[in-house]
Each structure stands twice: as C-alpha cells, then as structure tokens.
Chains A and B, each alone.
Chain A
C-alpha cells in the first residue's frame, strides 16, 4: 500500500500543483524577433523621416510603445486558463464580427475601410479577428470529440466565411486568405478525411478563381496578382515595381549583407513600405543571408515550440488553439517573406513581431500568449 501510495503521489502533485514555468525557448525567440524588429524598423524609417525633415525617431517611439503593450498582452494571455478562454470564445467571436462590421462604416483611411481611428491610435479589427477565428474553430473542433462530421465542417466554413466576407469588403484580400488557410489547416488537424481535405483545398481555389471571374476583386488587387502571375508584365507597373525593388535589395545584400543602416536600396527608400510589409527587405539587404536565415530559424523555433504545446495540451480545445496560432504565424511568415522575394504576390500581410504596426503586434502577441498558456498548462505525461 505504502509502495503504491508513494508511487501515486508524485503523479498527483504533477497533475495539480506542478509550478507553471514559462517556455524559455519560446519567450527567447519572441523577444529576439521583437528586438530585431525594433532595430530594423528604426533603420528602415529614420533616414526617410529625416529626409522629409521630420523627427527620425517618431515611428520607432510609437513602435516601442506597441511592443511594450504587446509584451504585457503576451504575459496576460499566457495566464488565461483554457476553461476561461473557452467561456470567453463566443463573446470574442461576436465582438470581433461587430468590429469588422463597424470598420466598414468608419471613415476611410488611405482609401480603404481597414482601420478605426481611436484617438491617436488606428485600431485594425481584422488583426484581432484572426485570434477570434482560431478560438471559435478550436471550440468547434473540440466539440467534435475526434469524430469530425460533415456538419462540423459545414459549421466551420460558415464561421470563417462571415469574417472573411467582411474583410473582403474592406478590402483586405490578405486577411481573407489568412482565414481560409487557418480553417483548412485546423480542420485537417481536427480530423478531416483526405478526401474532405482535398475538397476544401479545391473549393478554396475555385472560390478564388470565381472572385476573379465575377470581377469582385478590386482592380488593384487584380493588377497585383496578374502582374505576379505574368512574368512578361511590364516591370514598371507599380504593382511589380515594389516587389522588383525589394528583390533587388535583398539579392544585392549578398551573404553577409551591407551592414546595418548601410542599405543603399532601403535607406535611399527605393523599397516602399519597408518598415511594415517590406521589413524583411531591410533585413535581407542589411544583414544578408545570415540575418535572413536567423530570422527564419527564429520563426522555426517559435513554431516548433507552439506545435509542442499543441501536442502536450491538456484538453482538445487548447490543443487546437495552439495549432491555429502556429498556422497563422507560418502563413504570415511565408506569404510576407515570399512576397519580398517575389515568390508570392503582394498581399500586405505583416511579418509577425517584426513589422511596424500596433494592432498586428498586439494581436500576434496575444495569440502567442494563448499558445504559451497551453504549454504552461500541459498534461503531466506526454500523450
């Protein structure tokens, strides 16, 4: 008895009272990416601001503030237990739909309905909607109890279609694609058959093609995409110009890069939107292949740790949350870096934790915190 009791005891302790320790590797990768982001945003913005006679540190100060808020959000969301999160999910989803509707009625900024101006801050609902979509899909898949039926798939599609349609009207093609990619990846892990998975992929492609056909895409979206698909298109067209400049900048960086603040293309501002969408261009030009490879390695580390959390999660809901978070990061990284190297069309997705942009940094930090929380509350024994 005593033997048995002694053997049982540690199990109980582990299950209930194991102290919650942070995943050091995940946190380090997160901080490293954020720190690199701070340096690159400064390098990419300061010379240009100075040239326009403005305070060269104005953008970086804003970015630092967002990083601070983001880190706090990461810590706070790391502390949310799965149960609490589950009860919050319907409200988060509905709230997010409401803000996506609201943004359509907000005054246009830069010609699109993408931001809601709150004081000095431009709130971008679609960034937070990504988190909401992950949560609501995790809830749905957890409810299927490993027996995914067609009904679940249909509800999953419906839950994603609403925010996707709303972002389409902003218009924000990139975020729409993010929602689709999250849904397909999460449904796959949730247990679709291969046939269903194939059907979902084909359906996504058909819908994309159909949107082209009915001319629902705004003209500039078409130009960007068709210019990308047609390599003979005129390189001077604005759509391809950006990408071409970015490609030249990265390629000319070479193995070791031109050195921080020494980017002739980025610092002379040949590359547009280099503090935001094209931030990787500045990395590639100034820090070379070494710098670029380190960035990709940091993301790989991050994604590995999130997938480890997914594998070790205590309950189905939180495991699916981790899968969704990994997916959203991978999709952003691949589309964004691929865009700067002319592997992917220009869609305007930020590079997680590096690009300047408050909503994106905070939303991604929250998502990462939720995945981190899954790891900290993982099962005592690996499955």
Chain B
C-alpha cells in the first residue's frame, strides 16, 4: 500500500470519528433535547423540607398528655456535603463524632444516606445552648451541617397511660419502605403514636430555592409552611386512669404480699409470684375506652432521646406490652355469664330439670357419664356441697357443677350436630374469639375453641406444627371431646380472652346485646380545634337479647356483689354509698394445678384473679375489668382492686378507699 493510500485510510478513519461526534450531537440536541431540558430544569431547583411539629395527644377533657417543646437540631444537608472521596469528609465525621458523642461509623452512615438521598437528615436532635452556639460559630469546620429548629416530643403525662399513648423512635427496615420516611425521621412505634402516626406526623413544609452548582441559594422560588400533625383527643379520662393505676398497683402489691410476706419477684424462680395487674374501663353504651392500664408500666419519655440497652434491661419483662389487648387469659368463671345468656336464650337447662328456675344440688363432685375419652370426675372449686341452686344462685355462688350440668345436657342432646357449638356461637357473636379492632396496634384475638378448631390444630400438629393438644387425642376419632365443652362452659380449657374483649362482651350482655367496637381516640382536631377526623361509636354486632335475660343477668350480677353469699361480697363490704348499684362477676383461672410430686414435695396452685364490674347495674354505663396475673382469686384479689375504680365512677374522687383483700377462698 502506498503512502497516499495509507493517508487516505487514516483520513477516512478521522472522518468516521468526527461523524460519530456529529451523530451523537444530533441525537442529544435534536432527538432527545426535550428530556435533557426537563433534567436541566430540575437541576436548578433545590427543595428543602421543614419538619412539621408532631400532633399532640390529649385526654377526653383536653388535658395534655403528649406535646412538643421547641428545640434545635444539628442536621446535615446531603447536597452541601464535601464529595465522598474528599478527605474533608473524614475530618467532618471525626469532628461530628467528637461533638455528638455518637460513634463515627454511625455518623458516616447518616452522612452517606443524606448524600445519596440529597436531603436533610438529623445528626443530633435537641441541642443544648452551648452545642448550638458551638456549631453556629464554627460553621466553616462543619461543611454541610446546619442548625435548624426541630421540635422535640414531650410526654407530660405519658407515664400515666404509656400503653395507650405508646412511644416514638427511629424507623426500622419495614418503616423505611413507607413513602416519605427517612432513616433519621421519628415515628410512632407503639400505642396511638403508632396507630395514628400518619395524622400525627402532619405534612412537612417545603421551601423551593433556585441554586447554582454549589447548591448555593440564589433566590427563594416558593414556600409552603408545614402542616402540623393533628391533635388526638382520647376517650381516656386521666383522673379515672390514675385511679385505675393506683388500684392496680395496690392490688398487685397486696397480691405479692399475700403470696409471700416479704414480697416477691416474678419469674421462673417463683412461678407463683403475681406478675402484673391489668385493667380496662369501658363505656358500655358506646365502646369508649375510658381507662386502660397494665402495671408495671413505663415512661414513654425514655425513648425521646434514644434509649440504651442497659436502661431497657433494667425494666421488668413485658413492660412495653399492652396486656389489656395483648394478654390472653382464661376468663374462668367470668365466662359463666356467657353460658348463662346462652342457656336463657336457647332454652338450655341442666339434666333432669325442666327450667333454669328449678333447683338442683350444687355438689362438690360431678360424675359425667362420658363414653369418649373425657374426664369422668369433675370437682367444683368448693369441695363441699353448696346446697340447692337454680341458675341465679349458681351464678352468685359461681357453682361449676351447675354450669357443667347445662353443658353436659347440651352435649348429650346436640353432640356432632349443627347445635353442638351453640355456646361458642354465642360467645363469638358477643365479641369473643376475634380481634375487637380497637384503634391500637398489636391486638391479639383470643380463642373460642370448638370441634373445627381442634381438628385444625390436630391436622397442623400431625404435620409437624405446634403442639397444642395432648398427643393422645390425635388417635381419637375426633380430638374434640365432651369434656372440652364442659371446660369451655366455665371459661377454662382452651378458652382465651383479652381483658378488652371481656369488657366488650360484658358491655354487650348488660346493654341489651350491642357489641360496641372499643376505641381509644374520640376525634382528631387541628391546631385551631377544627375536627379533622371523627371516630364515632360503631357496633361490631347487634344481638337480640330478650329483655328478661338482660334484666335477670343484671340482677344476678348485682347479687354477686351485694348478696352475703356472693363471691365478691367481702371485697365490696366497705364500698360505701351506692354499692347496690354495682354488679360483677369473679373468676379464678387455674395457671398451675396444686399437686404432690413423686418426691413428696407439693406444688401450690397458682391462679389468675379476674373481676368484671358493671355500674350502675340498673342502667349500665361502665364495665370495669381487672386481671391480676397469677394474683390469687377473683373474689380475694381482683374484685377488691376493681372496687376503688367503681367508687370513683359512681361517687367521684372523694369516695375512693384503699384496696383491701377480700375473702380468700372465693372463686
């Protein structure tokens, strides 16, 4: 190839390169010019979000439970940070670590996050005056860091209602999936702080700036102030809540002292030590939760500035759980009211009687003529015979034998037919066995067992699922036995309810059959008091109870408290004025059965104490549920704890008297 030819090849190669440039230029400036123009537009605008103050939480009277106080925070502007490979960034991290006391690695992560998102992240909230002045005066040492107003949560009365209010914290991995949540944002983690997080957060304000490449602000293009979060108005009455808290604390202390004269510490070492006291006060006419407490509690303020592991370890176990909706307990004898209603409404009776008004002997022992694998000998809580009883006296005396007899009769007549589950159907239609849907997170659903559920469990267990049934049952034709129905009739066996469910069901039974959905927030209002959201009462179910059933039940519940032979009589002896307007039902759920071990030592019985109070009984307005977990007996421990609450509800703060142990051996 000659020199000229080679020159020609080189020239053509050069021509190709220049053609490529021209084509690319055409593609960018003619074909795709529009897209680039849009991008250039967004290049010029920087949007800075200003946080909205978190909404307040107030009680039913408008008293402040959670609010905010003005404070300053050190924030990082992602777009103003030095480049990632600039040594200045390491210096900045070290300075910030020294300044804030946070680990450098954590700060580096926040800075990287801010840069990636190009937004503002909080380094250190709630600066004190010296810190703020230090940062502002030395801003050249802290490129990209600025000091901005950022209100801080204050829980004025948080420790009075911690489980309803909840607490706030940094988002976890799931939270970060939600739109508009950054890693240094704060959001509700429990209680209404969590349930109503979106409305509490409000909407951040936006300031639009025109900027140059250094992100230096040239002019303000527009501004939209933040919309503060809505104020939650709770149904909770702080005065009542404090009375309930006091009563639960006294009741728990007394229960612990009666377990052991020197008090005790709950845990594996002492399974009989009362663990906690739980209480709910519900408005029977609309489902409003007037008070809700779980003792021991905690102070939500703990979480505002972040909480250390050591602080958490120092707290009793389960302290953050709202046992009023998360605790699942055997309702024991309090469930007899459900059996009572079922018997009246469905015309059920004990064997060999024609009517619920007929009396039979409440024997200490019932021998059940089961042909399946059920237990044959059943013992009442009171070992001796308790005299002739019809259904009214059986409820007042809490006679297991009588209710077992009804269940036995039901079983004999309906087993393996559609009517077999009529007791459970009633329980479910009165609000048990399913979540109430209260406006709080993490609610549990309770259990109302029947043949279907047991067969489901058995199938799961055979497939390697959890062990819920005695394995011997898996070999039977059906795992559901007659004895299970007898257990259910007195609220034992597999029946589980949450305290809130129990209150809801009692409210329905005494109000004529309306199952109101419980709710803790009445309404949400803006800063000017205008209503943003109403939470009106809502019926989960309406059951047609005959007025006679309702009246009889109210009368018999009144007798539980007022008749000298009622199981709660002793507990209410010093109630004072208005005692006759109080009704209730005791329950004692067996947690550990008393027995003698092979080595001759004995295991003491451990029982959970339950009481459901209703007032005024002639026109029920309030239902009070008190449960002392491993706390003794319903009549001896739970009913006396509910007493001051009912005194307050009927007669005001002056009428409240201290918790005093009731009669020890009452169911």
Interface, chain A (partner B; CB < 8 A): 51, 146, 185, 188-189, 191, 219-220, 223, 234, 236-238, 245, 247-255, 264-265, 268-272, 284, 288-289, 292-293, 296, 299-300, 303-304, 307, 310-311, 319, 323, 326-327, 330, 333-334, 337-338, 341, 343, 383
* Residues A311 and B10 in contact in the complex (CB < 8 Å), given A265-B43, A299-B18: no
- Give the CA-CA distance A301 to B46 in the complex, in Å: 44
* Residues A254 and B33 in contact in the complex (CB < 8 Å), given A323-B10, A383-B4: yes
Within 8 A of A (CB), among B168-224: 212-214, 218
Q: Which residue of B lies closest to A293 (CB)?
A: B22
- Give the CA-CA distance A320 to B407 in the complex, in Å: 113
Instruction: Give the number of residue pairs across the A-B interface with Cβ within 8 Å.
Output: 135
Within the complex, what minimum Cβ distance (angstroms) separates B7 from chain A? 6
B84 pairs with A237, CB closer than 8 A: yes
Pairs A–B under 8 Å by Cβ, sample size 18? A188-B6, A234-B116, A238-B83, A247-B36, A248-B43, A250-B29, A252-B37, A253-B29, A268-B218, A269-B213, A271-B213, A289-B25, A293-B22, A303-B11, A327-B10, A333-B21, A338-B24, A341-B21
B40 pairs with A238, CB closer than 8 A: no
B210-248 vs A, CB cutoff 8 Å, 1 = contact: the mask equals: 001110001000000000000000000000000000000
Contacts of A248 in B (CB 8 A): 36, 39-40, 43
* Residues A188 and B24 in contact in the complex (CB < 8 Å), given A254-B33, A284-B29, A383-B4: no
Within the complex, what minimum Cβ distance (angstroms) separates B87 from chain A? 11
Contacts of B24 in A (CB 8 A): 338, 341, 343
Q: Which residue of A lies closest to B43 (CB)?
A: A270
A265 pairs with B7, CB closer than 8 A: no
- Give the CA-CA distance A371 to B58 in the complex, in Å: 87
- Give the CA-CA distance A238 to B86 in the complex, in Å: 10
Given contacts A264-B43, A293-B22, 10 further A-B contacts (CB under 8 A): A219-B85, A238-B84, A245-B213, A251-B33, A251-B36, A254-B29, A265-B40, A303-B14, A307-B14, A330-B14
Interface SS, A side? helix
- Give the CA-CA distance A248 to B41 in the complex, in Å: 10
With beta carbons under 8 angstroms apart, the residue of B17, B39, B85, B218 that contacts A238 is B85
B83 pairs with A334, CB closer than 8 A: no
Closest 5 CB pairs of A and B: A251-B36, A252-B40, A270-B213, A289-B29, A254-B33
B14 pairs with A293, CB closer than 8 A: no
Q: Which residue of A lies closest to B20 (CB)?
A: A343
* Residues A255 and B33 in contact in the complex (CB < 8 Å), given A188-B10, A292-B25, A323-B7: yes
With beta carbons under 8 angstroms apart, the residue of A284, A296, A323 that contacts B18 is A296
Within the complex, what minimum Cβ distance (angstroms) separates A54 from chain B? 15
- Give the CA-CA distance A269 to B83 in the complex, in Å: 17
Q: Which residue of B lies closest to A319 (CB)?
A: B3
B212 pairs with A251, CB closer than 8 A: no
With beta carbons under 8 angstroms apart, the residue of B7, B18, B85 that contacts A334 is B18
B29 pairs with A288, CB closer than 8 A: yes
- Give the CA-CA distance A269 to B216 in the complex, in Å: 11
B29 pairs with A189, CB closer than 8 A: no
- Give the CA-CA distance A341 to B27 in the complex, in Å: 10
Contacts of A334 in B (CB 8 A): 17-18, 20-21
- B307: interface (CB < 8 Å): no
Within the complex, what minimum Cβ distance (angstroms) separates A243 from chain B? 13
A254 pairs with B20, CB closer than 8 A: no
Contacts of B213 in A (CB 8 A): 245, 268-272
With beta carbons under 8 angstroms apart, the residue of A146, A250, A268, A333 that contacts B25 is A250
Contacts of B30 in A (CB 8 A): 254-255, 289
- Give the CA-CA distance A250 to B20 in the complex, in Å: 16
- Give the CA-CA distance A46 to B406 in the complex, in Å: 99
Q: Which residue of A lies closest to B1 (CB)?
A: A191
Within the complex, what minimum Cβ distance (angstroms) separates B446 from chain A? 51
- B26: interface (CB < 8 Å): yes
- B98: interface (CB < 8 Å): no
- Give the CA-CA distance A330 to B29 in the complex, in Å: 22
* Residues A264 and B21 in contact in the complex (CB < 8 Å), given A189-B3, A189-B10, A247-B28: no
B39 pairs with A252, CB closer than 8 A: yes
Of B15, B18, B25, most A-chain CB atoms within 10 Å: B25
Of B3, B35, B43, most A-chain CB atoms within 10 Å: B3
Of B10, B21, B24, B116, most A-chain CB atoms within 10 Å: B21
B3 pairs with A251, CB closer than 8 A: no
